[in-house]
Amino acid sequence: MAKYKIIDYVYPTTGELARLILQYKDVEYDDEKVDSPDRLYEAEEDSPFGVLPILLVDGKVVAQQNGIPRYLARELDLIGRNNEEAAICDMVMEMALGVMFSKAERKPNLEARCQQQIALFKQMIEEDVPRFLAKYERFLEKSDLKSGYLASEQLTWCDLGVALTFAGMQIRQPKLLEKYPRLKHFVDKVTANDVVSHFVETELAPSAVLRKNSM
């Protein structure tokens, strides 16, 4: 088994999905949250594109917000059963991460970045998220999968990613999904898994509550 290490900012990022994938598949990994300016500079210099998170696999670097979980999904059999399902996973996650979080910007220091993250999530929930809720609801409505998942009859990384995203938002906005029954059922289904539920409660909820109280 490869040796994995995640290097990430102290605030929540798309690295949360990588952590969840590894925990869901019961794979051990090292986790470093960078909390000093000197170490931050060093870590970003080691990243191919100057941003975190990065994943070290036996010392080799995998980077970018979709690149890391996609790599882990392929390695750990969460990519779907064929190329079509893998493509649907990519499509769903491009919307979840690439579009919904496109307003994220880099700030010159850790304090500014944390403040910017709080403001960003508040803006996302108020301005961007509602139209994406409707799109996911419609996507599930049109699906002919009996499993209730997004891409396959078996759980994939895009199910974990989308459920994790909206579970975190529900902590801050408990009524977020009340008008979207299919999406709420989907999120409830995925987060009912013991590993996912524990991750949401122990790793996602504390940071989400902090953001909520800072808004």
More reliable by pLDDT, 152 or 96: 152
Q: How far apart are CA 215 and CA 97, in angstroms?
A: 22
Residue 104 has pLDDT above 70, yes or no: no
- Residue 40 burial (10 A CB sphere; 0-12, 13-18, 19+): middle
Q: What average pLDDT score do residues 39-58 get? A: 94
pLDDT tens sequence across 193-206: 999 999 999 988 76
pTM (2 decimals)? 0.87
Q: How far apart are CA 193 and CA 168, in angstroms?
A: 16
pLDDT tens sequence across 150-164: 999 999 999 999 999
pLDDT band at 167 (very low <50, low <70, confident <90, very high): very high
* Sheet of 4-9, strand order: 29-34, 4-9, 54-57, 60-63
Domain annotation for the chain: domains and CATH numbers: 4-76 (3.40.30.10), 83-214 (1.20.1050.10)
